[in-house]
Amino acid sequence: MLMTLVLSNDDAAKVLTMGGVVERLESLYGDLGAGSAVYRGRTDLFVPTSAHVGEPVPAAHQFKTLDGAIPRLEVASIRVTSDIVAFPMVNGARRRIKIPAATNKTYVGLVFLFSSATGELISVLQDGMLQKFAVGAINAIGAKHLARADARTVGLIGAGNQAGPQLAALKEVRAIESVRVYSPDAAQADAFCADMGATLGLAMTRAESAEQAVRGVDIAITATNSREPFFPADWLEPGMHLSCMQRDEPKDSCFERADVVVFHTKMKEHEYVSTDFEAMERKYNFVMRDHPPGALDWNVFPDLGELLTGRTRGRMSDSDITLFLNSTGVGAQFTAIAHLIYEGARATGLGTEIPGGLFTETMQP
């Protein structure tokens, strides 16, 4: 009898390494570029929420799904997150935050991993650790193929949960030596520099401004939760690589200034909202989506799969300005890393087994 393996973030942390994730995802994007792996665009459902989020701010229940299949690994998956989100104003700019509204102040995010040989559910995984590794690794793959080979210095804007993985992954592909960090919260930036500097063996200092953080560096990284673009084109310098964790960070002028631009994916979210949610949007005069629509035409830019398969060019000279935009997630990335976790957990006896028959049926659907 098949036993479905249930895996926690703690289990994932025991088997994942950043180098292993970079390697697995680099293979995946080769598959995607060749068309042998597939995924659909992300789907978001927005409805009002009764959850208490503190001060009167726009808030919503965001139900999000991403899926993808990798024939080479004989697996497919769907990632499901059920988030309570709020959009407060912080230091004069709109931010998106997740509210731990589930029991015991927790979040809800799961990946369901299926065998493409039998159709059976082989694993259910919490997605937090997987997501943490994925975003850093994807941006590092972009840097591996776009940043100068001799890149040593980094300017990092942001000191939150995703900032550390950005540096850890970047170290897998470039011999980084020093990092300047800016955060609006100076104490958070100082603590981040002390912690990550010791962990990664890097010389890290706090910058007084976002511009100061990136002036003169080889690689600039944005790792924020901003919902308003803030990185202008005049911060870009010859030879620089700009690595953006999400699309509401660089201003549109950056895409015009850069010599080479590569998106993670050309796909966009498909968003569906209820009428009462639309009424709430009008009340607050704010588009409460994960990423409000903009004027940028994504279709004119190549994606990471095209870069890895040589269908678009990368850096041509040391003076080129390159830009990698982690535009949005793709379901296949979760399939690839979930399978990596599953393999490691099976090999080391981690996780909780439950009868797989609970998820099959004799009646044809």
Q: Is position 278 within any domain?
A: no
**In 3D, which of 141, 144, 93 has the Cα closest to residue 248?**
93
**What are 283's two structure tokens?**
């009340």
Residue of 111, 110, 91, 108 whose CA lies nearest to 99? 108
pLDDT of residue 293: 63
Q: What is the mean pLDDT of residues 132-149?
A: 96
Asked if the structure places residue 284 within a domain, the reply is: no
For position 295, what pLDDT does the model report? 76
pLDDT for 92? 72
Please state the rounded mean pLDDT for residues 166-175: 97
21, pLDDT greater than 90: yes
Q: Which residue has the higher pLDDT, 198 or 296?
A: 198
What rounded mean pLDDT belongs to the chain? Answer: 93
Q: Are strands 89-90 and 59-70 parallel, antiparallel or unpaired?
A: unpaired
Is the predicted pLDDT of residue 54 greater than 90, yes or no? no
d(C-alpha 259, C-alpha 269), whole Å: 27
Q: Are residues 31 and 53 in the same domain?
A: yes
User: Are residues 191 and 145 part of one domain?
Assistant: yes
| 190, 50: one domain | no
- Return the amino acid letter for 287: V
Q: Which of 41, 34, 43, 37 is nearest to 62 (CA)?
A: 43
Contacts of 349 (CB under 8 A, 6+ apart): none
Query: Count of domains in the chain?
Result: 2
Residues 204 and 119 in one domain: no
Domain co-membership, 221 together with 256: yes
How confident is residue 57, by pLDDT bands cut at 50, 70 and 90? confident
Q: Is the pLDDT of residue 90 over 80?
A: no
The span from the CA of 252 to the CA of 203, in Å, is 32
What's the distance, Cα to Cα, between the start and end of the chain in Å? Answer: 21
Please count the CA atoms within 13 angstroms of the CA of 126 that sit on its side-chain side. 15
Phi-psi region of 351 (alpha: psi -120 to 50; beta: other; left: phi over 0): left
Range of the domain at 222: 139-266+295-325
68 — pLDDT class (breaks 50, 70, 90): very high
Answer yes or no: do 204 and 318 share one domain: yes
If asked whether residues 185 and 154 sit together in one domain, one would say yes
Q: pTM above 0.85? A: yes
Do 149 and 125 sit in the same domain of this protein? no
For 321, how many CA atoms within 13 A lie in the half-sphere containing its CB? Answer: 17
Provide the token pair at 343: 């393999």
The answer to whether residue 35 is domain-embedded is: yes
Residues 169 and 317 in one domain: yes
pLDDT above 70 for 280: yes
Q: Give the residue ranges of DSSP H helices in 201-229.
A: 210-214
